[in-house]
Structure 1
Amino acid sequence: MAFNDVSPRDKSVNDESARDKPVKDKPVKDKLEIDALVKAFFQVFDNRGGKRPAFDQLHQLFISEALVIKNVGDRPEIYTLTQFIAPREVLLTNGELLDFFEQELAERTDIFGKIAQRFCVYQKSGMQQGQAFQAKGMKTMQFIKTPGGWKIAAVAWDDERPGLMIASDLMRLDQ
C-alpha cells in the first residue's frame, strides 16, 4: 500500500467529519503548548534595552540531541545545541549586536500524535556594529512530545535575500 493510499474500511480517515475533529481536545492543547514553546524560543534571543538573553533556557526547550541548521549561505551550518549557543551568546552579550529581537509573523503547525512540525515566517531586527537592520526569513521546526511535554527536536532557517523573497501567501500560513 502506498503512503497516500487509504483503505476504505478506515472510517476515521475517510469520513470528512471525523478527520478534522480533535480527539478529546488534545490537538488544541498540544497546539497551545507548541505555541508557548515557540514563543519562549524566540524570546531567548531578545537583548533589547540591555536585557541579557536567556540562553540557559534553550536546554529546557530542546531535546539534548537536537540539531540547529542555518541554511542562509552557500553551505548549511549544522550545529548541536551547545555549538549553536556559544557564538550567539558572545554576539548578543559583547555589544556587537544590540537591541536584537526576533518574532514570528505567521505559522502553520501540523500535529500527529507525538510529533509535530511548524513552518513559520519570522522577522528579526537590531543594531549590528552601529547599523540598524531588519530582515525576514522562514523557519521550520520539528517537535516531539516527551514525558516532560513538547520539546524542539530540530530547527532550520533561511532568510530573504535578492532573488529569494517570502511569497505573500506564506505571510498567511495560519489561515
Structure 2
Amino acid sequence: MKTWFSILLIGFIALNVQAQNNTKQEKEAAEFKIDSLSVTTLDGTIRSLYNVISGSKGMERNWKQFKYLFKPNAKLIPSGKNPEGDFMVRYLKPEDYIKSSGKWLVENGFFEKEIHRQTDVFGNIAQVFSTYESFKSEADTKPFMRGINSIQLLYDGARWWIINIYWQQETEEHPIPKKYLP
C-alpha cells in the first residue's frame, strides 16, 4: 500500500511541477507576444525557427520568439573556412547570433527555406538534418546560398527546445549529397 501511495504522490508532484512550468511559459508567451504553440511539436519548432529569421528587407524580426525556441545555454555553431583556408567553428548564444546577424538580416532581406529534412528521434531527444536554401527576397527563384542545419532538440514533456544548431554552407568542394536533397 505504501508503494502505491508513494507512486501516486510522486506522480502528483511531477504533474504539479509541469503545470507550474506550463503556467510560467504561458505568462511569458502572453507578455512577449510569443507563439507558445509553435513549440509543442517538432515540426512546429523547426518551422518557427525558419519563420522567425526570415523576412523582407527592413522587416524587424521577433527576437523574443527566436530566443523562446532555445533552451538556456543552447548554442548556434556556424562552420566554414576562414580567410587562411582553415576550417573553423564559432560558438554563439542566441543573443550573440542576434548581435552578429540581426542587423544584416534586416538590411538585406533574408528568407531561409527548408527543402528537405531527415529526422531521428529517441525518447525525448531528436537530431534533425535540415537542408535549406537562402534567398534575399521571397520573389527570388535562385538561392544565393544552400546548406545543412544539424539541429539537436529536447522534448520536456510539454514542448520542444532547441539545444544546438550546427551548420555548414554548401561549397564547390562540399556539395550537398543527393540523400539530403528533395
TM-score by length of 1: 0.70
Aligned to 1:146: 156
1:38 aligns with 2:46: yes
Decide whether the 8 Å contact of 2:80 with 2:89 is kept in 1: yes
Percent identical residues: 22
Q: Tell me how far apart the structure 2 counterparts of residues 121 and 72 of structure 1 sit (CA, whole Å).
A: 16
Decide whether the 8 Å contact of 1:115 with 1:145 is kept in 2: yes
SS of structure 2 residue aligned to 1:79:
coil
- Counterpart among 66, 83, 106 of residue 58 in structure 1: 66
Q: Tell me how far apart the structure 2 counterparts of residues 39 and 87 of structure 1 sit (CA, whole Å).
A: 22
Aligned to 1:13: none
- Counterpart among 108, 112, 122 of residue 102 in structure 1: 112
Aligned to 1:75: 88
Q: Tell me how far apart the structure 1 counterparts of residues 59 and 102 of structure 2 sit (CA, whole Å).
A: 12
Decide whether the 8 Å contact of 1:101 with 1:125 is kept in 2: yes
Residue segments in structure 2 that go unaligned for 5+ positions in a row: 1-39, 82-86
- The Cα shift of 1:143 comes to 0.5
SS of structure 1 residue aligned to 2:97:
helix
Aligned length, in residue pairs: 134
Judged with a 3 Å threshold, the aligned counterparts in structure 2 of structure 1 residues 38 and 119 are, in CA distance, closer, same or farther, namely same
Q: Tell me how far apart the structure 1 counterparts of residues 118 and 62 of structure 2 sit (CA, whole Å).
A: 26
Q: Tell me how far apart the structure 2 counterparts of residues 142 and 106 of structure 1 sit (CA, whole Å).
A: 16
- Counterpart among 136, 144, 163 of residue 173 in structure 2: 163
TM-score by length of 2: 0.68
Residue segments in structure 1 that go unaligned for 5+ positions in a row: 1-31
Q: What is the root-mean-square deviation of aligned Cα atoms in Å?
A: 1.9
In structure 1, give the amino acid aligned to 2:77.
I
- The Cα shift of 1:49 comes to 5.7
SS of structure 2 residue aligned to 1:38:
helix
